[in-house]
Structure 1
Amino acid sequence: MKQCAIVILNYNGAEMLKRFLPGVVEHSTFDLWVIDNASQDDSVVILEQEFPQISVIRLSQNFGYAGGYNQGLEQLKGDYQYYILLNSDVEVTSHWDQDLVQFLETNRQFAAAQPKILSAKDKRLFDYAGAGGGFLDHLFYPYCRGRIWNEVEEDQGQYDDDLEVDWTSGACFVIKSDLFHQFQGFDEHFFAHMEEIDLCVRMRQEGFRMGYTGKVTVYHLGGATLDRSSPRKLELNIRNNLAMIYKNESRSRFWWIFGQKAILEGLASLGYLLKGQRDSAHAVWKGYSGFFKMRNEFLQRSATKKAPFLGPSKYVFLDFFFRGKKKFSDL
């Protein structure tokens, strides 16, 4: 069994591959794989002609982030001790892959870990997706050190430490391969968005721990598939967040959380309407209706443990929007 595979999922990402793959090839030690989600552009041609050292797994259709990784990694099952899952729009740094794997080798209490993730658009700032380590509040809203909602901090070395987190970012993280398959990978009903958080929640409830190391840095462009302001992304985030709670909490606890989220997100939808953003307002309710249409497919699990959330905020929505706490250090 080899030590690690770096695996990139691609769908119509020819421009991202041309921009970011040369750096990944230059700075990486482990085997490189691209899972192609039946791209309609010239992604595969570019891979075959310009990056012959990269192995390609071609899927028959676009299965989304969750299904694409699940199906592709199934073909690598038993071949590698670790997987590093890397978005196609990430710029890496020297020894990044070796250092991530070494972090798990040294800190064996962790099943998965992410690096510090900064913005490729402005390298002084933290990135939206994962930043300096991800947490969940009591309503399952995700937030990060270095990023709460759309407010991001400048990197001044304040998160160069190592620590335990609630979830690791799908933009870049390393995971023990046997555990990925043991937990049946990502929930394919999610299609895209929040599937990595759901996997982390499921793993944590079975006693496994997630890590962050600020000693490894990557730069994430973000929005390569769906822009952060996309109504479709908002819809999927709301639907999948509800599904994650439904799967991992008791029915009584779910409905208690649901009621509070419905009020808060209903107010958010009204805010979108008042600002003339009708598509975003509609996306909120499409997220709710999408959840109810699919909720019987999101089967409730019986968790061995109920792992407490590790972050400082119990209600990050209230802290941010009503109490003016815009930075992690304020929480």
Structure 2
Amino acid sequence: MSRTAVVILNYNGETLLPRFLPSVLLHSEGAEIIVADNGSTDGSVALLRQSFPQVRLVILDNNYGFCGGYNRALAHVQADVYVLLNSDIEVTPRWLSPLEELLQTRPEIAAVQPKILSYNKKDTFEHAGAGGGLIDALGYPFCRGRVFDSVEQDTGQYNDTTEVFWASGACLAIRANLFHQLGGFDEDFFAHMEEIDLCWKLNRARHKVYYCGQSTIYHLGAGTLGYNSPRKTYLNFRNGLSLIFKHLNPGELLVKLPLRMMLDWLAAVVFLLKGQAGNFNAVGKAHLHFVLHIGRDRRKRRLLRAIYPAYSKTSVFPGSVVFSYYMKGKRKIG
């Protein structure tokens, strides 16, 4: 059985694969490299077969989204550690060994991410993960090195190795047995915030999630959906509500869910004032979907509470990141 499997989920990445896959092949010593094709309609599969015969190819019959695609692909992968890697990432020499070493020497750690910098601006952190994921008291996710639209320049301030609340799905190293034990990704999320949900489950199961600043990768970002895409807005707001409904403790939920929904609508008004009617509508559609499917989320909540009664707040930011950012003007938190 392979010790580590680097698994790239591909969807119509014919232009991305020749650009980014070579660095993964060059710098991932000892790992099996797997590309799982998520029902691509372009020439991705033919390209992989012709130009990258050393890569193991797993072909899915449809586009199952990030969540369903990985769940199905990893059912065909035997390894001790899965490294889920986006198709638009350039890795660096020795990027993998610090992640592997942390998992090998620290049994309490279940998952870890590297430092994630921007591919186009290599001295700056990237939105998707940056210096490790955190979450505030209302369930808003943010990162060390990136709060909302503000990203920090990398000056070595996050070269540490430390516990975080969630690790980015752009590059997530996770123990394979725990991934399957916790049921993998919630496929109702389809894409976006699924890794936060999985890390929250790890937290509830008393495992730790870490950030490792000794490993660096460069992420192009927004390869499938642009940062201002209404589709991305819809998924983020929809999944954000499902996330806190599933995981917040009962007393918290009564207070924080209405407040969170109110803040969502405040964000929607801001979208409208900026002329982004598509994003305004996306928030409304996200809330409607959440309300219509609240019974489904309630069943998931009950099941989680039956198995894992509560979660640790050790790495939860105690205040509101929205208040700190917009009212206090704090652009760096964590």
TM-score (norm 1): 0.96
Match of 1:61 in 2: 62
Retained in 2: the 8 A contact 1:138–1:309? no
Q: What CA distance in whole angstroms lies between the structure 1 residues aligned with 2:110 and 2:152?
A: 28
SS of 1:14's equivalent in the other structure is coil
**SS of the residue aligned with 1:214?**
strand
Q: Who is 1:223 aligned against?
A: 222
**What does 1:10-29 correspond to in 2, within 5 Å?**
10-29=10-29
Moved more, 105-114 or 166-175: 105-114
Contact 1:118 1:126 survives alignment (8 Å) = yes
Residue 128 of structure 1, CA deviation: 0.3
- Partners of 2:137 and 2:317 within 8 A in 1: no
In 2: Cα distance, 1:311 partner to 1:256 partner: 17
Q: Partners of 1:254 and 1:247 in 2: how far apart?
A: 9
Q: What are the superposed Cα offsets for residues 30-79 of structure 1, whole Å, 9 maximum, x if unpaired?
A: 00001111100000001100000001111111000000000000112xx2
Aligned to 2:51: 50
Distance in 2 separating the partners of 1:136 and 1:36: 32
Shift of 1:109: 1.9
1:270/1:305 Cα in 2 relative to 1: closer, same or farther (>3 Å)? closer
Give 1:295 deviation, angstroms. 2.4
Residue 149 of structure 1 aligns with which residue?
A: 148
**Structure 2 unaligned spans of 5+:** none
- State the Cα distance separating 1:273 from its structure 2 match: 1.3
* Distance in structure 1 (CA, Å) of the matches to 2:37 and 2:130: 26
- Give the 3-state SS of the residue equivalent to 1:66 in structure 2: helix
1:188 match:
187
Deviations for 1:135-168, whole angstroms, at most 9, x for unmatched residues?
A: 0001110111100001000000000000000000
Q: CA deviation at 1:230?
A: 0.7
Contact 1:313 1:319 in 2 (8 A): no
Question: What is the CA-CA distance between 1:105 and the residue it aligns to?
Answer: 1.1
After superposing the two structures, state which structure 1 stretch, 92-101 or 141-150, moved more.
Answer: 92-101
Contact residue 108 and residue 208 of structure 2 kept, 8 A: yes
User: Residue in 1 aligned with 2:252?
Assistant: 253
Where do residues 208-219 of structure 1 align in structure 2 (5 Å cutoff)?
A: 208-219=207-218
Corresponding position of 1:319: 324
Residue number in structure 2 paired with 1:236: 235
The one-letter code of the counterpart of 2:12 is N
Number of the residue aligned with 1:202: 201
Aligned to 1:8: 8
The corresponding residue for 2:315 is 310
Single out whichever of 272-281 and 120-129 deviates more from structure 2: 272-281
Residue 191 of structure 1: CA displacement? Answer: 0.2
Measured in 2, the distance between the counterparts of 1:113 and 1:293 equals 35
Equivalent pairs, count:
327
Give the Cα–Cα distance (whole angstroms) in 2 for the partners of residues 16 and 190 of structure 1.
Answer: 24
Q: Secondary structure at the match of 1:229?
A: coil
Deviations 1:279-312 (A, max 9, x none): 1111111111121222222221212332115144
> Any idea what the Cα deviations from partners look like across 1:6-44, whole Å, max 9, x if unmatched?
000011111111110011111112000011111000000
Q: Distance in 2 between matches of 1:262 and 1:83?
A: 35
Deviation at 1:268, TM superposition (A): 1.2
Cα distance in structure 1, aligned partners of 2:228 and 2:23: 28
> Using the alignment, how far apart are the partners of 2:316 and 2:239 within structure 1?
21
| Equivalent in the alignment of 2:35 | 34
**Could you tell me how far apart the structure 1 residues matched to 2:141 and 2:193 are?**
9
Structure 2 counterpart of 1:128:
127
Report the Cα offset of residue 269 of structure 1. Answer: 1.0
SS at match of 2:15: helix
Q: Which residue of 1 aligns with 2:167?
A: 168
Q: TM-score, normalised by structure 2?
A: 0.95
State the alpha-carbon separation in 1 of the partners of residues 107 and 143 from structure 2. 23
* Paired residue type of 1:328: I
Kept in 2: contact 1:135–1:165 (CA 8 A): yes
Moved more, 95-104 or 130-139: 95-104
- Higher mean C-alpha deviation, range 279-288 or range 293-302: 293-302
C-alpha distance in structure 2 between counterparts of 1:214 and 1:108, whole Å: 19
The code of the aligned residue for 2:63 comes to N
3-state SS of 1:136 partner: strand
Q: In the alignment, what sits opposite 1:140?
A: 139
Unpaired runs of 5+ in structure 1? none
What CA distance in whole angstroms lies between the structure 2 residues aligned with 1:107 and 1:217?
Answer: 20
Contact 2:98–2:212 (Cα < 8 Å) also in 1: no
Does the C-alpha gap of structure 1 residues 250 and 158 become closer, same or farther in structure 2, counting only changes over 3 Å? closer
Within 1, Cα distance between the matches of 2:195 and 2:314?
16
Match of 2:270 in 1: 271
